Chains A and B, each alone.
Chain A
Amino acid sequence: MKVLVPVKRVIDYNVKARVKPDQTGVDLANVKMSMNPFCEIAVEEAVRLKEKGVATEVVAVSIGPAQAQETLRTALAMGADRAILVQTSDDLEPLAVAKVLKALVGKESPDLVVMGKQAIDGDNNATGQMLATLLDWPQATFASALEVSGSKAKVTREVDGGLQTLEVDLPAVVTADLRLNEPRYASLPNIMKAKKKELAVEELASLGVDTAPRLKVVKVTEPSKRTAGVKVETAADLVSKLKTEAGVL
């Protein structure tokens, strides 16, 4: 069984994003970039499927600038077998990313796509669902447990009131939630080994996919800031302030 794992290079989750003064976007110059945390979880899950003997090959793919090769090397160091970069300097919207991934699925014919539920920059939480729709594959989003047996996958999902379990026929798209697993750190020997693994680079244009943006960014602004309030000395103080000053009790 072959597993395809789309991974995205994003601002590191520890870094607070700053809006550019000209309101054209977020300042990413000299900012630490990393693999999107949900994509790390997806890679980990795919590698575990391989370690269990369920998957035979794990292919990581990213759509982005040349620097996204670093992200793919991280995936390879975690245990992916090979990687594909679809290179572009454009910022693609989820629908465009899903269309590019569909084209890659056509070439690679995976049995399963495991990806992050959400990228922590765009925060769209949309790409996996769109990919499943375009492929007419079943989807199981926000997975906190994944069990593959034969031509089916059983997926436990984090839903509004608790947990839901679905069984989907393969091939399928699964998106990873936080509690699916705890991703490993790549060891130094594995980082070295990853340098020798295959990383193919393809130009976005060569795929012939329509990735024209549908949304125009008018501006990006800073949200109104909260300021620190006061410290209270005792719980009784707190209650009296909440009652009389804030009026929320």
Chain B
Amino acid sequence: MAVLVIADHDNASLKDNTEKTVTAALKLSGDVDVLVAGQGCKAVADAAAKITGVRKVLLAESAELGEGLAESMEALVVPLMANYDAVLTPATSQGKNFSPRIAAKLDVAQISEIVDVVDGSTFVRPIYAGNALETVQSADAKKVITVRATSFKAAADGGSAKVETIAAPAKPAKTHFVDQKLVKSARPELTGAKIVVSGGRAMGSAEEFQKVIEPLADKLGAAVGASRAAVDAGYAPNDYQVGQTGKVVAPELYIAIGISGAIQHLAGMKDSKVIVAINKDADAPIFQVADYGLVADYKAAVPELMSALAAAGK
């Protein structure tokens, strides 16, 4: 059995979702190749070649692959599947965009957001906002799988696989890239960060969100997250949303500030190692999952937390 892993990257650097997905792939087979599709991403391919356990890296480059067009990704991957029994993609927005197309083209089910590999055809995946875990067995000859990367440890570096360049598919005829507005940030990636500080509706404005959440995150070297309510209200950009329908995170430490703890929010963070909640309502559901709860107005608590951290050498 040979397995293809599709790398997560931004054309400049490899994201650790890739190493985590390689770990899932190695549970299926010892023959794991990584596909790096993008533009100007040779450095990404070289980084992927260093992942322990990777047999070979395939590199395909074109403008459309760089823009991440789903049609182009499908056209690239489907013919490659003649050589593979399974394809694993990290369940990012990008992965979720193109992976079902590969499944549909191959006429197989997609096994979405697996959190565990039981055997070569049996997988565990969360359903109902993570309130249930479903173990499914696939009868399809080829498996198309998206992987919840936070559920797997990153494969270590130490390999030296060969990088092989392959041809990119023709430009899709009916889909045209217009533009892209990406949030630039020096902070760690939300889904891979060791610490995440999230703010909720309680912030009340974008200015307050920036004044309260961001300095705390920077003090801790943390990524910034938000509840849907905070994103809907425009306090934080859309790609900060943590939850069932946003990003799933599992950091060492998750700090929720002014977030009530709705089922949909918990779905995105309840696998964090340690959860801290700061909320002025002692009955807020977030306290039911928090390891440490501080019942307080964040307006007083966050500045106190900043000084306590400073006193502790942070």
A interface residues, Cβ below 8 angstroms from B: 11, 13, 16-19, 26, 38, 93-95, 98, 117-118, 120-134, 137-142, 144, 154, 158-169, 172, 177-179, 213-223, 226, 228-232, 234-236, 238-243, 246, 248-249
Tell me whether A133 and B136 are in contact in the complex, defined as CB-CB below 8 angstroms, given that A123-B127, A242-B292 are known contacts.
no
CB distance from A95 to the nearest CB of B (A): 6
Q: Are B292 and A125 in contact (CB under 8 A)?
A: no
Q: How many angstroms between the C-alpha atoms of A241 and B69 in the bound complex? A: 47
Segment at the A interface, from B34-42, B48-56, B157-165, B230-238: B230-238
Contact for B100 among A16, A130, A166, A234, CB less than 8 A: A130
Contact for A125 among B96, B274, B290, B312, CB less than 8 A: B96
Chain A positions within 8 Å of B181 at CB level: 162-164
The answer to whether the Cβ of B45 comes within 8 Å of any Cβ in the partner chain is no
Chain B positions within 8 Å of A139 at CB level: 70-71, 97, 101, 175
Q: How many angstroms between the C-alpha atoms of A82 and B132 in the bound complex? A: 35
Q: How many angstroms between the C-alpha atoms of A91 and B237 in the bound complex? A: 36
CB distance from A50 to the nearest CB of B (A): 24
The answer to whether the Cβ of B109 comes within 8 Å of any Cβ in the partner chain is yes
Residue of A nearest to B238 (CB): A158
Q: How many angstroms between the C-alpha atoms of A133 and B78 in the bound complex? A: 12
Tell me whether A159 and B180 are in contact in the complex, defined as CB-CB below 8 angstroms, given that A16-B131, A126-B112, A215-B109 are known contacts.
yes
Chain A positions within 8 Å of B276 at CB level: 238, 242
Q: Are A215 and B138 in contact (CB under 8 A)?
A: yes
CB distance from A8 to the nearest CB of B (A): 14
Tell me whether A162 and B130 are in contact in the complex, defined as CB-CB below 8 angstroms, given that A133-B74, A226-B289 are known contacts.
no
Contact for B103 among A95, A217, A232, CB less than 8 A: A95
Instruction: Scan residues 96-117 of chain B and give those whose CB is less than 8 A from a CB of chain A.
Output: 96-101, 103-105, 107-113
Residue of A nearest to B185 (CB): A161
- Can you list 10 A-B contacts (CB < 8 A)? A11-B128, A26-B127, A95-B104, A123-B113, A144-B238, A215-B139, A236-B304, A239-B309, A242-B253, A249-B314
Q: Are A228 and B70 in contact (CB under 8 A)?
A: no
The answer to whether the Cβ of B140 comes within 8 Å of any Cβ in the partner chain is yes
Chain A positions within 8 Å of B253 at CB level: 242, 246, 248-249
* Interface SS of B by simple majority: mixed
Chain A positions within 8 Å of B308 at CB level: 234-236, 238-239
Q: Are A230 and B293 in contact (CB under 8 A)?
A: yes
Chain B positions within 8 Å of A221 at CB level: 132-133, 135
Q: Are A124 and B110 in contact (CB under 8 A)?
A: yes
Residue of B nearest to A127 (CB): B100
Q: Are B108 and A95 in contact (CB under 8 A)?
A: yes
Chain A positions within 8 Å of B137 at CB level: 215-216, 218
The answer to whether the Cβ of B201 comes within 8 Å of any Cβ in the partner chain is no
Q: Are A219 and B74 in contact (CB under 8 A)?
A: no
Chain A positions within 8 Å of B263 at CB level: 13, 16
Q: How many angstroms between the C-alpha atoms of A168 and B174 in the bound complex? A: 6
Chain B positions within 8 Å of A243 at CB level: 312
Q: How many angstroms between the C-alpha atoms of A132 and B239 in the bound complex? A: 25
Residue of A nearest to B307 (CB): A235
Chain A positions within 8 Å of B265 at CB level: none
Q: Are B135 and A214 in contact (CB under 8 A)?
A: no
CB distance from A178 to the nearest CB of B (A): 6
The 10 closest A-B pairs by CB, nearest first: A229-B291, A17-B128, A235-B304, A129-B100, A214-B109, A126-B100, A161-B182, A130-B104, A133-B104, A165-B178
Which of A160, A221, A241 has the most chain B CB atoms inside 10 A of its CB?
Answer: A160
Q: Are B312 and A166 in contact (CB under 8 A)?
A: no
CB distance from B284 to the nearest CB of A (A): 11
CB distance from A66 to the nearest CB of B (A): 23
Q: Are B176 and A168 in contact (CB under 8 A)?
A: yes
Q: Are A129 and B101 in contact (CB under 8 A)?
A: yes
Q: Are B92 and A160 in contact (CB under 8 A)?
A: yes
Q: How many angstroms between the C-alpha atoms of A84 and B93 in the bound complex? A: 31
Chain B positions within 8 Å of A120 at CB level: 128-129, 244-245
Q: Are A230 and B292 in contact (CB under 8 A)?
A: yes
The answer to whether the Cβ of B281 comes within 8 Å of any Cβ in the partner chain is no
Q: Are B136 and A159 in contact (CB under 8 A)?
A: no
Q: Are B289 and A220 in contact (CB under 8 A)?
A: no
Q: Are A129 and B175 in contact (CB under 8 A)?
A: no
Q: Are B179 and A179 in contact (CB under 8 A)?
A: no
Q: Are A163 and B180 in contact (CB under 8 A)?
A: yes
Q: Are A132 and B101 in contact (CB under 8 A)?
A: yes
Tell me whether A26 and B97 are in contact in the complex, defined as CB-CB below 8 angstroms, given that A162-B182, A220-B135, A246-B274 are known contacts.
no
The answer to whether the Cβ of B26 comes within 8 Å of any Cβ in the partner chain is no
Q: Are A159 and B292 in contact (CB under 8 A)?
A: no
Q: How many angstroms between the C-alpha atoms of A191 and B72 in the bound complex? A: 44
Chain A positions within 8 Å of B195 at CB level: 248
Q: How many angstroms between the C-alpha atoms of A221 and B116 in the bound complex? A: 13
